[in-house]
Structure 1
Amino acid sequence: MRILKILAALFIFIQPANAENIALIYGDTGQNLEMINPPGATFLNFASPLSIAGFRVIEPADRSAESMREAAQEVVQLLADDQVDRLVIVVLGPYASNNRESWVLGNDSAGAGSFSVNEKGIAINALSDLAAQAGGRAVILLAQGAEMAGLGFGLQSGLGEFSRAEGVTYITGGADQLVELTRNGLLEPGMSYADLAQTAPSGVEFSGFVTEDTGLMGAPDASPMPEYAASDGTIEQGFWQAVEAIGSKEGYEVYLERFPNGPNRAEARAGIERIKSEPSRAAREAEQNLRLSRNKRRQIQSDLTLLGFDPRGIDGLFGKDSRAAIKAWQLDRGFNPTGFMTGNQVTQLRGQALDRKAEQAEQERLQSEEAERQDENYWWQTGSSGNEDDLLDYLEKYPDGIYAQQANEMLDGYALERGEPPRAEQKAWDEAIEEDTIAGYQSFTGEYPDSQYRDDATTRINNLQQAQKHAQQVAEAKAQEQQVAGARFARKIVEQRLVKRGYNPGKVDGKFSPKTRQALRQFQSSRGLPVTGYVSRATMGKLMGL
């Protein structure tokens, strides 16, 4: 039993030292859809066996470069504090590389090039340097990733060259193959790296530190697990904590076999009975064994939605709403409503969804044919006569109909006879008038340079441009007035100068009234200044005789 071997490894290595086994996983949590690995293994597929084997899993909050660096920094600190015994680094792509280095990419790496890639991801060389600090007990698993399109200067998609640090074992291959290797071999005590490489799944490659003398969990000739007495509280308690973390029937049975009189034997037996009495446990474990990728879960959610069972989102995460939708579908199909999928049910759901898609496509085809039939019938009732009113009736009901182009051409002929522009041109002009902007009139003249409305459009463009220019002059003059005539005594001087030059600003009291503004505009007009009614610097200069 493989779980017995893993627990045995834990039994050997449980010790009062503070050092931990650490697993840093760059998985698919929070990863952009277009960057997720091809359907296959996910973060959970790696995290589960590593956690069972006693590794503390560290994962970024998401796949942003910042979160990836923060997770790596956490491992750096643990290494600096001498808190790391063994180190496993799991990397799911995508990757970018040049002829010297490779990087695992974060979410924001679109367009990354040689000069920006270090800000967009993590260099594999940096992870090698990190692993080298684990003192010869470090493994880096590099899973093939999705193709990364749109990379910038100097980079290509995919894992390329990188530096191998001394004492670090590198394993590359497909994500599914690396999960199989992790579950079946890598975490076994006494399995050397060389033996592991010999029995590895097809397509998995080893490099770096590959020796017959040792493996991640110890040397092949390590002493067998001793028969510790139940009275050894430290050993028994550590073993019990590992069994509780696994939480399986097999784990509890291993504990009772090892410690038949242990202090936790009652809890172990209760755990076994609890598992036996839990009706959905087998269903949950059966679904887990399917190793559904996140993309596959999205497909299941999409199929449920298509069939009218709403999972409240298509995100590849099976929360309570997705479980409720699965249960409802299972009830509808006569299955035991566990809320967990079996392989057969996944296949049936896909087939049912494909049938529904085919039904919808056929319905859409029939509806389209019926719409075309009604369109054609209406044409023969109206527009086919060639009468102008009948053509308008047809276009009102079917502006994009089968005969819309023909109807518009016939109506344009009537308009031409009356000296009017074509309908499309007239419509564009009406829209330009309604919008009444420079851009709108310019767009019209660009599309219809020979239109009879061209001169009107040009005149309106000039008027709008003048209005914009005047509005800008008023705004500038208003702002300058606050600087040169903001104080009341300065305004009285302005009013006095206007009176002296023959203008009537109203009462000379330092308060600018509408009459004052009128006098200012008259003065500005007579002096060739922008007519704003506000005391600009130029206006003040002319008033003061400068």
Structure 2
Amino acid sequence: MRKISLIAALTAFALPAAADDVALLIGVERYQELRRAPGAEDVLDSAQDLRRAGYDVTTLSNGTSANMTRTLNRFAQGATEADRLIVGLSGRFVTDGARSWLLATDSQSPTYFGLSDAVSVDSVLQVLAQTPGQAILILGYDLNSDAQFGDYLREGVGELNIPQGVTVLYAEPNSTDGVVMEAITVPGADVMAFARDARWLNIAGFAPRALVMQPNDEDAETPPSGHPTLQFWIAAQELNTADAYRDFALNYPRSPYAQEARTRLDEIENDPQRLAEIAEVDLGLTRNARREIQRDLTLLDYSTRGVDGIFGPGSRRAIRNWQQSNGFAQTSFLTAEQINRIDAQASRRAAEIAEAEERVRAQAEQLDRAYWEETGARGDAAGYSAYLNTYPDGIFAEEAREALDEDADETESDGGAESNQAAADAEAALRINPVMARLIESRLAQMGFNPGQVDGRFDSETRGAISRYQTRGGLPATGYLNERTLARLLADTFGR
């Protein structure tokens, strides 16, 4: 079966027509309904460099969903005969954690079941899988945005299911053209070395020790002509996968290219990035365990851009930054030791935060008690009112309200029928309609005076609330409204 795969690859390689290298660049900076994606069109600046490097390049700037669909369909058709594939997508992306989409310029606010016209990043990856080892996807998006779209979508790119042999590079939108012009299209340039040296660029998927997309003409391999394994060796290089090199070394152990095949197989299988990924997978982290790690990293000020149990680009970036700060290799994949250390650091940080909060609480309580000593503790209405104005939810707030209620009740019981009638007449002269009455009751309730049901009718509970309000404000506590009380109450209502 292994030999058959090589023969099939050889057959494709031996076709007389030379395949084109294909590149697609889409940048969406301006949106009709959504906010801009500054710098997203910069990805198009590398088009000329790609053409000079021999790529058939298609570009689309600020495309509508219909334009994007047509462009992607043409790209997918052309990609079937390509030797090398480059795709650059830059703009605003949304993700549900497991799948990701690029939004078109005419996209409305995205909904979970309304993304049929957006560009599926997963579909693009499947097209790129046709040229393993010679396929790069470049994503440009705001790495720090945490915007939510409903309960199921957030801005950004989630965890990608990257096919074997596909390299994904992602960065801020205004940085996407740099890797193309300075590495991918430069003869002999190592894309992996460039990406690892560039702090602004992140790597996912196929990350061999070295990846040259544009070989030097003088460095092109010219193996001895006529050797019976030559064509199979060329086919293995075209596939550029661990399986291809392993198949070649097993099937042709005496070939002059067998040692090179074993060397390349060793490079792929022992790539530190790949080994780190395998080690993390072997940990068998559950989704809840990943959520806990994300919470810990966030507590330590390494933003994962969400706590959803999915290690997408945001989480990988946070892990890589933590690894850098703590002296570990920056693989973006975790070991058991690192998880334990993150947990210990987060526990300590949580204790420090709790201690700081307790100090703040104790200081606030001390100030509260000191203010009470200077106001309410003196036992008069003015002191109670002063305390409640400063500490409406303070330690002694309930005691102050009860004292004011008692003062109001005593004032009501001391007043004669004549004074009550005069107060009632003064209120009647105000001609308070039901709408205004409900507003007054509502405001009294908001201020904590308990007027009873807010129904536009002044009953005994309402009278008690008015009386308590008057007492606190230093007004005659009649339980009825007059011009002065009403003006004060309305000023408190609309002045806030």
TM-score (structure 2 length as normaliser): 0.37
Larger Rg: 1
